[in-house]
Structure 1
Amino acid sequence: MKLLEYEAKHLLKTAHIPVPMSRLIKLGDTLPTPLVLKSQVPTGGRGKAGGIIMIDKPEDLQPAIDKLLKLEIKGFTPKTLLAEEKLNIKKELYLSILIDRWSAGIKIFAHKNGGVEVEENTGFTSWSIEKKSQAEAIGQQLADYYELPGQTFALQDLTENFYDCFVKNDATLIEINPLILTEEENLVAGDCKMTLDDAASFRHVWNFEEKPAEVNFVTINPEGNTATIANGAGLAMATVDAAYQAGLKPTNFLDIGGGANEATLLKAFERIVKYKNLQAIIINIFAGITRADEVAKAVVAAKKQINNLPPLFIRLAGTNYEAAEKILTENNVALLPNLESALHAAKEVIHD
């Protein structure tokens, strides 16, 4: 079974492999720009066929949606499109894992050059992998091969999660092309092809429907005193780590993902306030596909609808920040300039 890109990326994200913030869209949807619009068809070559469009201006979005929904690529016409954040690309790499028919084992393949011209590449490097414990060494060798010594730990984690994703989903192929190194020095799966073994379907309940933002919710310490809300797994983890370093006791990890709106954020607040020792909520959002004004609306709604809502310490930046600032100011909700000041202010209200 060949998966569509958004389905494959859902499984990557579940395996803790970084993917861009994204959401499925259809004709009539409105989204903040810039973004990347991608046709969702079960075939390669979408870039060369015009199935991927960069959108920089809001007025270009609807014509692009209309165009892609009608564009046939190798006999396939999409039923849906994927909108993703536009990454700041420093380097494009190639990485895949597959069942090697010659050795009847699992192999990882890599190339220093990824992207639309990958089929022109020669000289791929490969490693056999039989168990998860080999991932650390292969990740080290990948860092050496890619000439990215600063990404050694990230590539070791990626290799381990890549192997896990492959085995747990009974895949026969997972191809990340490109594996993007961003200007911010993050490794992100820019695109993904994935094929699952139909014969193993009895072992799985594959569900590829879009999940609401609040599903990326993990309780860390139910006795903690400070809840955290952020967007993007990296920022969410960094927020939890910063809270620990500030001497707070985080209750949870919450990545609201991309495309979160007032309703999904309000549900997240309702879930958070169930922690019995909660005394503060840290909100750390860098808005992109999730807009800052939607976050602001959710904050205002939460303050009006949730009686036991503890003090909020909010840092916002990014898309529609000015609109968010106006909404919060009009409702007497303070914004803080950075995460450090939010943590400091939260610590002032915490009592043992």
Structure 2
Amino acid sequence: MNLIEYEAKALLSAASIPTPKGVRITKRQSDAPFLPAVLKSQVPVGGRGKAGGIIVAKTEEEFADAHAKIFSLAIKDHLPKSLLVEELLSISKEFYLSALVDRDSMSIMILANRHGGIEVEDNHDFEHWTINDRSDADTIGQAIADYYQLPDKTFVLQDIIERLFDCLVKNDATLVEINPLILTDDGKLIAGDAKMILDDAASFRHDWQFEATAAETNFVTINQEGNVATIANGAGLAMATVDAAYAAGLTPANFLDIGGGASTETLLAAFERIVTYPNVQAIIINVFAGITKADEVAKAIVAAREQIDTLPPLFIRIAGTNYELAKKILDDAGVSLTPTLEDCLFAAKGALDA
């Protein structure tokens, strides 16, 4: 699940990471809560600044104009339901900082760049550190202070790293990104913008009340010549599915995390993309339903079988929210389920070896 900025910043604030003073407003709230202010479109995608979704207002008239403009501006097909109005910071420097689950090393990584902001994707000189627990924060904070060339902010950065790690782990996030991490003219380090992705597979551990927005589908080609494709929800479950396929002697063509809140249309699009791989002879589906409901997955499976002539055999494990409804949908369509991922992989291996 991809959080909207105001939701991510609420979790950062709860972890005691400094954020700008801000107020979330709806379309009906057109009066400025304070001035000067920065109005920011609250949509679950990047590129807001370049698209015109972030505007500085210094007068009531500018605020009203910005309010009307942003609420009518669709960014990547998303119209905002609310705006985040924040204090205008005096910026000295902007940095990049994030914590994420790294599949390759099976660890949590801290990433940093001396240059943050809207052009960060053009930077290639990222530094990274593995963090195993909170005790590593002091060493990493010292290294980042040196890297940022902010020796007088060593203690502050050590605290931020510790809290960033805590925020990632406590919330079952796969990514907590601060971009930019702002150094203000008066020497404060503040999270100017935030992005957070939560692992949908961990939703049963939380009483999440966030806007139901799906994370952008994480579809990665691993091996164009692979003999099986994988579909899972949540980065952790998707990684585990790919690793289990390798362990079973299969060659995954892809890594696919369908995210939280995936719809029948989203899932059908994933199937259509998978059948473009030339050697895929089976699809492994491993879903623990939470925000992504089991019946939505079942409907997509039925639709894919009806609409895609070249669809290879499906080996399906589903559990969680609306499982009974999903089972009925699949039973009615003559599609069988397997109780565990191991059973899926065993059956798929047998089919490929036949």
Could you state the TM-score of these two structures normalised by the residue count of structure 1?
Answer: 0.58
Alignment match of 1:61 (pick from 32, 50, 63):
63
2:97 corresponds in structure 1 to 95
SS at match of 1:98: strand
Counterpart residue number, 2:183:
181
1:3 matched to 2:8? The reply is: no
Aligned residues: 209
User: Contact 1:10–1:208 (CA<8 Å) still a contact in 2?
Assistant: no
User: 2:117 pairs with 94, 105, 115, which one?
Assistant: 115
Amino acid aligned to 1:12: L
Work out whether 1:14 is the aligned partner of 2:26. Answer: no
Residue 143 of structure 2 aligns to a residue whose secondary structure is helix
* 1:147 aligns to 2:149 (yes or no): yes
Tell me what 1:129 maps to.
131
Partners of 2:202 and 2:182 lie apart in 1 by 31
1:26 Cα deviation from its structure 2 partner: 2.4
Q: How does 1:164-313 map onto structure 2 within 5 Å?
A: 164-208=166-210
User: CA offsets, 1:25-67, max 9 Å, x none?
Assistant: 1234312210000000000110011010011111111121111
Cα offset for 1:208?
5.0
Inter-partner Cα distance in structure 1 for 2:31 and 2:74: 23
Structure 2 counterpart of 1:116, one-letter code = I
The answer on whether the counterparts of 2:4 and 2:44 sit within 8 Å (CA) in structure 1 is yes
Q: Distance in 2 between matches of 1:37 and 1:72?
A: 15
Distance 1:97 1:104 in 2: 13
Tell me the distance in 2 between the aligned counterparts of 1:110 and 1:208. Answer: 28
Letter in 1 for 2:38: V
CA–CA separation in structure 2 for the residues paired with 1:130 and 1:8: 23
- Following the alignment from structure 1 to structure 2, what is the Cα–Cα distance between the partners of residues 156 and 207? 30
Report sequence identity in percent.
57
Equivalent position of 1:36 in the other structure: 38
State the superposition RMSD in angstroms.
Answer: 1.1
CA distance in 2, matches of 1:208, 1:42: 12
Aligned to 2:244: none
Aligned partner of 1:286 in structure 2 is none
Distance 2:144 2:210 in 1: 30
Q: TM-score, normalised by structure 2?
A: 0.58
In 1: Cα distance, 2:6 partner to 2:58 partner: 22
* Cα distance in 2 between the residues matched to 1:206 and 1:86: 30
Partner of 1:162: 164
Separation in structure 2 between the aligned mates of residue 205 and residue 163 of structure 1, nearest angstrom: 21
Please say if residues 6 and 82 of structure 1, whose CA atoms lie closer than 8 Å, have aligned partners that are also in contact.
Answer: yes
Code of the aligned partner of 2:102: D
Q: Find the aligned partners of 2:114 and 2:77 in 1 and give their Cα distance.
A: 31
Instruction: Give the unaligned 5+ runs of structure 2.
Output: 212-354
Alpha carbons 2:3, 2:210 under 8 Å: kept: no
Equivalent residue letter for 2:181: L
Secondary structure in 2 matching 1:20: coil
Verify the 8 A CA contact 1:107 1:129 in the aligned structure 2: yes
- What are the Cα deviations for residues 111-162 of structure 1, in whole angstroms up to 9, with x where unaligned? 0000011011011000011111101110011100000001000000000000
Q: Distance in 1 between matches of 2:208 and 2:142?
A: 32
Distance (whole Å) between structure 2 residues aligned to residue 184 and residue 122 of structure 1: 29
Runs of 4+ in structure 1 over 2 Å off: 26-29, 206-209
- Residues 276-324 of structure 1: CA deviation (Å, up to 9, x unaligned): xxxxxxxxxxxxxxxxxxxxxxxxxxxxxxxxxxxxxxxxxxxxxxxxx
- The corresponding residue for 1:77 is 79
| Distance (whole Å) between structure 2 residues aligned to residue 152 and residue 205 of structure 1 | 35
Note if contact 1:26-1:65 (Cα within 8 Å) is conserved in structure 2: no
Mind listing any 5+ residue stretches in structure 1 that lack a counterpart? Answer: 210-352
Q: Secondary structure at the match of 1:47?
A: helix
State the match for 1:24 in structure 2.
24
* Equivalent-residue separation in structure 1 for 2:182 and 2:209 (angstroms): 27
1:83-103, CA deviations, whole angstroms, 9 ceiling, x for partnerless residues? 000001000000011111111
> Who wins on radius of gyration, i.e. which is larger?
2
* SS of the residue 2:49 aligns to: coil
Give the whole-Å Cα distance in 2 for the aligned partners of 1:170 and 1:16.
17
Give the equivalent residue in structure 1 for 2:241: none
Determine the C-alpha separation between the residues in 2 that align with 1:183 and 1:65: 28
